[in-house]
Structure 1
Amino acid sequence: MFRCFDIDLSPFVDNDIYLRTLRVEGRFSREEALKRLNNAGVAPSDIMGMYREEENSPWSAVLHTREQAANVNSPQIKYVAKLIVDLRVHWLPLYITDDIIREVLSPFGHVIDITKDTTILDQANSTLNGTRLVKLQTTEFDSRQIPHIVSLGSCVAC
């Protein structure tokens, strides 16, 4: 679901175009963005359109097919429909299961992995510290909607 200021934007988003969009990370000219796309294997003829959301924001490129967009593999170019986000969930009692974290985060994407973080006490010992490290596959829109603070019954996670 696409949300902005608690307004459901889903009816106003062309999902087909969204699923063909790449984000060129960094601040530079359109020509430099085209050069980086070309270096990643995107030919100018593959591009349907390019735009920025603001003057200093990254360039977005909409390709003709989803397959073209999904197959681009470059550290500077992100496929907006498939982002991998690393999250740290703090202040969780050790008795809270990973299942509830998976359930809370499921509206924002697919939880790939959850691990329990540890604090090193000395060279031979470590202890669980109540932080979970979560790897989430999401979209750019959904990643912006992940809450900063969540209340799980009597505990608050951040």
Structure 2
Amino acid sequence: MDIIVDCPPLVTGVFDDDVLKRTLKLQNVSAYGSVTMNDAVECLQMLEIPPNAVELFSRGQGDKEVSIVFNSPSFLNQVNTVEPLVVRQKRILLLKGNSQIVNVRVHWLPVFIPNPTVEAIFRPFGKVLTVEYDRMKVGSGTFKSGVRLVKMEVTEIERNKLPHLLRFECGNKALITVAGRPPLCLKCLQIGHYRSNCANTPKVQSDIYSKIEKSISDRNQQEQRRKTEEELKLIEEERRKDVEETKKKKESMDDKNDDGDDVVDDDDDDDTVMEESIDESRGTKRTQDQEVCVFSFMRLWDQIFFLLTFPF
């Protein structure tokens, strides 16, 4: 059994226009409190509408709304929807049909954007009532913040069409939040969770990362190809030098063979001189080693003699 079943949106074509023409919605616009059935009855008394004129009462999804359907549209025409009613210190706004009042918070807007421009931005999404700065308390003072508060009168369909993010051609962005609406994740740009709880990888960032990885891989391949080409050039150069040296040696050997016995005798004399030089260097090294050994023995003897003669 499915706990939640997704249904198509409720568009205007499926509404009962006759019921909408006879519906009055009571909405609490105060910061606290709900709208009870007793509040709805008291509002009818203030409007001088008899109880027998009401066909039904209906609560909304939240506790701040109550809908009243009258028997005739004539009773709805008697209602002034401009000024809210004050019932038990609660400001209750009267709305005809399926309209509702929403408070839209606009974040990240530059401070040099005036409120009339903000009103023009939100006018296509519904009726803009007021635009003002939000206020915050810092220390002992209260100041305006950069957040704009846009109060709008919209239908449920218009409320669902309110965007979550505005993007301007200059590069600036504006985040839009509405109380009771699922939030926008600023990491994956999907609806229903916050960035701190996001388990998704944003497609934009993944595309960027893949491009960066591809660029690094291409650069490494080019560098490896360049090193390989340089190594091949060095190997080829060394091989060429070896061939030239081998050729020169062969030519030199041929010249020596052509010179005859004189060259051979000269080579023998050179070998004899070299052997005598080697023997002489070996004898010199042996003599130096003997001198170092005698010097070390004499130092050791001096230390032993000092220990034996020192008066403890």
TM-score normalised according to structure 2 size: 0.36
Per-residue deviation at 1:15?
3.5
Determine if contact 1:23/1:59 at 8 Å carries over to the other structure: yes
Per-residue deviation at 1:95?
4.1
Determine if contact 2:11/2:157 at 8 Å carries over to the other structure: no
1:105 to 115, 119, 122: 122
Q: What is the root-mean-square deviation of aligned Cα atoms in Å?
A: 4.2
Determine if contact 1:37/1:77 at 8 Å carries over to the other structure: no
The runs of 5 or more residues in structure 1 that have no matched partner are none
CA shift in 2, pair 1:122/1:151, >3 Å: same
Please identify which structure carries the higher helix content. 2
Give the counterpart letter for 1:68 in structure 2.
Q
1:36 to 22, 34, 42: 42
Please identify which structure carries the higher strand content. 1
Q: What is the aligned length?
A: 149
Fraction of identical pairs, as percent: 20
Per-residue deviation at 1:67?
0.5
Per-residue deviation at 1:59?
4.2
Alpha-carbon distance in structure 2 between the residues aligned to 1:114 and 1:92: 13
Within 5 Å, give how 1:47-58 maps onto structure 2. 47-52=54-59
CA shift in 2, pair 1:50/1:149, >3 Å: same
Please list the CA deviations of residues 34-68 of structure 1 after superposition, one character each: whole Å capped at 9, or x if unmatched: 743543332123223334467x8954211222303
1:132 to 148, 151, 173: 148
Report the equivalent of 2:231: none
TM-score normalised according to structure 1 size: 0.61
CA shift in 2, pair 1:95/1:37, >3 Å: closer
CA shift in 2, pair 1:111/1:37, >3 Å: closer
Structure of higher RCO (CA pairs closer than 8 Å, 6+ residues apart): 1
Report the equivalent of 1:141: 156
Give the counterpart letter for 2:160 in structure 1.
Q
Alpha-carbon distance in structure 2 between the residues aligned to 1:156 and 1:6: 29
Per-residue deviation at 1:10?
0.7
CA shift in 2, pair 1:98/1:6, >3 Å: farther
| Partner SS for 2:42 | helix
1:93 to 110, 116, 133: 110
Report the equivalent of 2:166: 151
Determine if contact 1:90/1:132 at 8 Å carries over to the other structure: yes
| Partner SS for 2:78 | helix
Please list the CA deviations of residues 97-119 of structure 1 after superposition, one character each: whole Å capped at 9, or x if unmatched: 54553344224322233234566
| Partner SS for 1:62 | strand
Per-residue deviation at 1:142?
4.8
CA shift in 2, pair 1:104/1:77, >3 Å: closer
Per-residue deviation at 1:149?
1.9
The runs of 5 or more residues in structure 2 that have no matched partner are 1-5, 28-33, 86-90, 177-312
Report the equivalent of 1:45: 52
CA shift in 2, pair 1:6/1:104, >3 Å: farther
Per-residue deviation at 1:88?
2.4
